[in-house]
Amino acid sequence: MLLVLSGSVVAAGQIFKESPGTAAALLLAFLALAGVNSPLIFPRSIGGQEAQRRSAVDGRPVVFWRPGCKYCIRLRIRLGRNARQLHWVNIWRDPTGAAAVRAANDGNETVPTVVVAGQPHTNPDPAWVREQLSPSA
């Protein structure tokens, strides 16, 4: 919401400077940033420990991600509606999740890291992730 508001203010300033083309471009850029970081694009994140607990119960993969990561966005978009079946952990909001990613990637916070049956997979192909979803999930 803050990105949309900020974009509107910046665009309004450009309109007052009689630059409607720049205003439209800036507003679209802010709207794109808002959309990419929106819960409409990414399902609501949960904590790393909670995600691992839920995954142990239902067998669904855990995806460790961070806002602005183009590979995370690609994974989310290519999964489509199936993305809601995964447990998403934002490593910038969850220190436990960030630690799990560092442990899986030689100390680097490389995302997306998808954990399936306790095994981490760094930046896997979205088609492979889709295959890991159980039919009952």
Provide the pLDDT for residue 137: 42
Q: Which of 75, 59, 65 is nearest to 125 (CA)?
A: 75
Q: What is the pLDDT along the chain (137 residues), one digit of tens a residue?
A: 776 777 788 888 887 888 888 888 888 887 877 776 666 666 778 999 999 999 999 999 999 999 888 999 899 889 988 888 999 999 999 999 999 999 999 999 999 999 998 899 999 999 999 998 866 44
**CATH code of the domain containing 52:** 3.40.30.10
User: Which domain covers residue 103, as residue numbers?
Assistant: 48-131
Q: How far apart are CA 73 and CA 77, in angstroms?
A: 6
Note whether 27 and 71 are same-domain residues.
no
Taken as a whole, the chain contains a residue count of 137
Q: Is residue 136 part of a domain?
A: no
Maximum Cα–Cα distance across the chain: 58
Note whether 68 and 117 are same-domain residues.
yes
Q: Is residue 53 part of a domain?
A: yes
Q: What is the number of structural domains in the chain? A: 2
Q: Are the CB atoms for 51 and 93 separated by under 8 Å?
A: no
Q: How far apart are CA 28 and CA 41, in angstroms?
A: 17
Tokens of residue 18, six digits: 């009689």
Q: Is residue 126 part of a domain?
A: yes
R_g (Cα) of the chain, nearest Å? 18
DSSP code string of 71-135: HHHHHHHHHGGGGGGSEEEETTT-HHHHHHHHHHTTT---S-EEEETTEEEES--HHHHHHTS-T
Tokens of residue 75, six digits: 């994974």
